[in-house]
């Protein structure tokens, strides 16, 4: 079990960026969803991890239930690859692999080599553990206590089949890993302690037991996540139900397609072909069940909706995309933080747009003032929550690439929050302008308005650089930034000239200077965002 955990964790870390790209391709196409679930589970060797990720995506509103159902079906197929890995006879190499893995895991300073060491360590432990378990089972084949106990888990009649299915379900529900329980089933079968039909019934139960992980993960989540968990349970329950009815035909079919007798016993008392039969039966069941139920995915969704009634509530929390579940998969967690920061950038950009009306309109808009001040508080909270999430991500010791990206995003979030603060300051300047009955000359108003529009374009360009993370955009940003800086210097010089000619009073002059200073600071923060996005800060 520890070996399976280490191997899966290492593979998740190594394949993290690929998982993110694969999930980004998910659409409402159920067949594509099946292949997505299969691919992700094959990469990380854990259907439980895939379904927990799904719960996180659904709870964050990043995925619809119709997309998740296809992925769940694919994950059931993907997890069967683990049983085929177990079937491969590599136990003789288990200790050397384990030794190499330990050396790499403990002594390598290279993050990627360290992760490969974790994978090899888990791989070696898995097979060495299976070998130890098989060896321990060997003397029990003639035990007057042990043999009769396992004899009750047969498949001679419907009662025995149901008992075996329930035993497989119970064991998997306890250990939270169908791959582990299938490994135990194969070890028992190899030593002749159970027949293939009994093993097939246990595997059917293990398919139901693996749904418990998603059910537990959905506790405390939204309706969509709960419904996805129910759809997963229904998918496996329906499949196991009709497979129990056709159980003997299913067993015969597996024996027909897999070479060697399913219960053939060699001179040493072992069954050399039974492991392949178990792996094949596991794969055939899940593939067949997916083919049968994919066209009825809509029915599964309606049943799950009926089981978990209620209307989809709007997401009220400030963070729509972030879910702490994904801290264990750093590339996906970083992608979520980026989406949340993009949302924050849109709020800040809108706030800057609103300031134009508050500064240049002759009549104040109290509702707009209140809205801007409210959103400034929201940006403060979003910045705090994203920063806390990114700090947790750094504490999880992600790879060097993710850690560097995390530090960049921390800087970018802080810069957006600073722009939000200056937007609030500009709004207060608008209030001061009204209270002190200040009016700017036509020349000053036109110049300031042009600067405002150019600065808005500049903020949007810097945000585009953050979204695309392309250094070529920075060249255009630097060029526009210099032009903008030159414009503001000219505006300041023209303002001083108007003061010298006594065409502008002191109160208006101070307010004008304060607004220009705020514009210059916003420009600097926007440039910092672009430079951080491409790794220059």
- pLDDT confidence band for 16 (50 / 70 / 90): low
Closest C-alpha to 50, from 332, 400, 307:
332
Percentage of the chain beyond pLDDT 70 is: 90
pLDDT above 70 (res 142): no
Candidate ranges 134-148, 178-192, 448-462; pick with highest mean pLDDT: 448-462
pLDDT (0 to 100) of residue 313: 47
Look at the block and give the residue holding tokens 């599964």.
300
pLDDT (0 to 100) of residue 291: 93
In the three-class reduction of DSSP (H, G, I as helix; E, B as strand; rest coil), residue 183 is classed as: helix
- pLDDT confidence band for 530 (50 / 70 / 90): very high
pLDDT tens readout for residues 366-415: 788 888 888 888 898 899 999 999 999 888 877 777 888 899 999 999 99
Lowest-pLDDT range of 70-79, 264-273, 343-352: 264-273
- pLDDT confidence band for 60 (50 / 70 / 90): low
CB-CB contact of 86 with 275 (8 Å): yes
Q: How far apart are CA 521 and CA 25, in angstroms?
A: 39
The structure tokens listed for 36 are: 């997505």
- pLDDT confidence band for 318 (50 / 70 / 90): low
Candidate ranges 76-80, 87-91, 102-106, 418-422; pick with highest mean pLDDT: 418-422
pLDDT (0 to 100) of residue 230: 92
pLDDT above 80 (res 446): yes
pLDDT (0 to 100) of residue 273: 85
pLDDT above 60 (res 317): no
Q: How far apart are CA 529 and CA 537, in angstroms?
A: 9
For residues 477-486, give the mean pLDDT: 91
pLDDT (0 to 100) of residue 526: 94
Lowest-pLDDT range of 232-236, 238-242, 312-316, 477-481: 312-316
Q: How far apart are CA 430 and CA 222, in angstroms?
A: 42
Return mean pLDDT, the chain.
84
Closest C-alpha to 199, from 160, 148, 232, 249:
160
Q: How far apart are CA 126 and CA 53, in angstroms?
A: 24
pLDDT above 60 (res 282): yes
pLDDT above 80 (res 346): yes
- Taking CA 469 as the corner, what is the angle to CA 466 and CA 474, rounded to the nearest 5 degrees? 80
CB-CB contact of 460 with 517 (8 Å): no
Q: How far apart are CA 450 and CA 487, in angstroms?
A: 9
> Where is pLDDT greater, at 396 or 102?
102
pLDDT above 70 (res 314): no
Considering the domain 324-533, what is its CATH architecture?
Up-down Bundle (1.20)
pTM metric for this prediction: 0.62
pLDDT above 90 (res 48): no
Lowest-pLDDT range of 39-43, 218-222, 232-236, 392-396: 218-222
pLDDT tens readout for residues 151-206: 677 788 898 899 999 988 988 888 777 777 888 888 888 878 888 999 999 999 99
Question: Where are the domains positioned within the chain?
Answer: 2-307, 324-533
What letter would DSSP give residue 140?
Answer: G
The torsion angles phi and psi of 192, rounded to 5 degrees, stand at: 75, 15
pLDDT (0 to 100) of residue 311: 66
């Amino acid at each position: 079990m520890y070996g399976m955990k280490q191997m899966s964790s290492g593979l998740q870390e190594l394949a993290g960026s690929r998982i993110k790209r694969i999930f980004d391709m998910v659409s409402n196409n159920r067949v594509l969803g099946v292949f997505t679930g299969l691919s992700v589970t094959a990469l990380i060797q854990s259907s439980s991890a895939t379904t927990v990720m799904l719960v996180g995506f659904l709870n964050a509103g990043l995925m619809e239930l119709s997309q998740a159902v296809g992925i769940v079906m694919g994950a059931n197929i993907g997890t069967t690859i683990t049983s085929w890995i177990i079937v491969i006879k590599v136990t003789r190499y288990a200790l050397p692999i384990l030794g190499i893995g330990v050396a790499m895991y403990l002594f390598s300073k290279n993050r990627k080599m360290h992760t490969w060491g974790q994978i090899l360590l888990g791989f070696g432990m898995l097979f060495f553990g299976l070998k130890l378990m098989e060896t321990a089972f060997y003397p029990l084949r003639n035990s007057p206590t042990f043999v009769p106990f396992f004899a009750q888990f047969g498949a001679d009649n419907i009662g025995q089949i149901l008992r075996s299915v329930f035993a497989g379900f119970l064991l998997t529900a306890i250990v939270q890993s169908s791959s582990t329980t299938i490994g135990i089933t194969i070890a028992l079968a190899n030593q002749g302690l159970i027949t293939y039909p009994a093993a097939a019934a246990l595997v059917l139960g293990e398919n139901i037991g693996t749904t418990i992980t998603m059910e537990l993960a959905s506790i405390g989540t939204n309706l969509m996540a709960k419904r996805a968990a129910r759809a997963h349970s229904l998918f496996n329950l329906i499949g196991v139900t009709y497979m129990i009815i056709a159980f003997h035909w299913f067993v015969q079919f597996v024996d027909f397609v897999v070479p060697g007798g399913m219960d053939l016993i060699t001179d040493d008392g072992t069954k050399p072909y039974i492991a392949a039969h178990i792996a094949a039966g596991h794969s055939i069941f899940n593939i067949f069940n997916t083919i049968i139920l994919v066209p009825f995915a809509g029915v599964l969704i309606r049943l799950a909706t009926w089981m978990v009634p209620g209307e989809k509530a709007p997401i009220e929390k400030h963070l729509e995309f972030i879910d702490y579940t994904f801290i264990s998969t750093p590339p996906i967690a970083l992608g979520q933080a980026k989406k949340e920061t993009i949302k924050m950038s849109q709020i800040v950009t809108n706030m800057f747009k609103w300031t134009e009306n508050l500064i240049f309109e002759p009549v104040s808009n109290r509702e707009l003032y209140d809205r801007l001040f409210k959103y400034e508080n929201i940006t403060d909270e979003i910045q705090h929550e994203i920063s806390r999430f990114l700090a947790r991500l750094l504490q999880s010791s992600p790879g060097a690439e993710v850690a560097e990206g995390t530090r960049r995003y921390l800087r970018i979030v802080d810069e957006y929050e600073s722009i939000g603060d200056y937007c609030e300051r500009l709004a207060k300047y608008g209030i001061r302008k009204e209270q002190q009955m200040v009016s700017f000359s036509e020349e000053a108003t036109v110049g300031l308005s042009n600067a405002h529009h150019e600065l808005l374009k500049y903020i949007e360009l810097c945000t585009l650089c953050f979204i695309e993370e392309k250094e070529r955009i920075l060249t255009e940003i630097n060029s526009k930034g210099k032009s903008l800086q030159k414009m503001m210097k000219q505006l300041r010089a023209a303002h001083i000239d108007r003061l010298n000619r006594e065409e502008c009073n002191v109160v208006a002059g101070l307010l004008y200077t304060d607004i220009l200073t705020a514009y210059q600071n916003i420009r600097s923060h926007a440039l910092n965002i672009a430079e951080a996005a491409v790794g220059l800060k």
